[in-house]
Amino acid sequence: MTFIFTPTYNVIMTPEVSPTSIKKVFREVGIQRGETAELLVEKTLQELTDSFEWIKDFRKSTPEEDKKRGVDFVISTKDVGNLFLQIKSSWSGKEKALKKHPRIPVVVVHLGEDLTQIENKIRETLVSQREAFLYKRNNSL
């Protein structure tokens, strides 16, 4: 499946240009880019939930979970409990997230990627997390 999502940013430009207004524009674009990346991941997680028998369901994190734990999505499984994902739209965002919350996997979603590319990243991350939990459980006797 090839689906490429090209976002439209709703940033209003004014004639006044100042360092503060430029920072505000970049901050707004960054927020919109992150929200778009999370929407793409949400669609991908729905497809993966339908194709993996071990995934029960998923949900977006609460604002508290996002702020305190660095979690964007909580994926409930039938065998290892909850898996977590943090979604970023840049490599620098990933580096910052990993410094704050090193135990939460971070997936970088670039807006030019199609859903298959995003699905492969999400699948690889979830399978890796699940396998680590299963390995730890089976070897902690």
Closest by Cα among 119, 125, 121, 128 to 47: 119
Q: Which amino acid is at 76?
A: S
Supply the pTM of this predicted model. 0.77
- Strands in 55-60's sheet, in edge-to-edge order, are 55-60, 73-77, 82-88, 106-108
Give pLDDT tens digits for 55-110.
999 999 999 998 899 999 999 999 999 999 999 988 999 999 999 999 999 999 98
Give pLDDT tens digits for 96-109.
999 999 999 999 99
What does the block give as tokens for 10?
């709703």
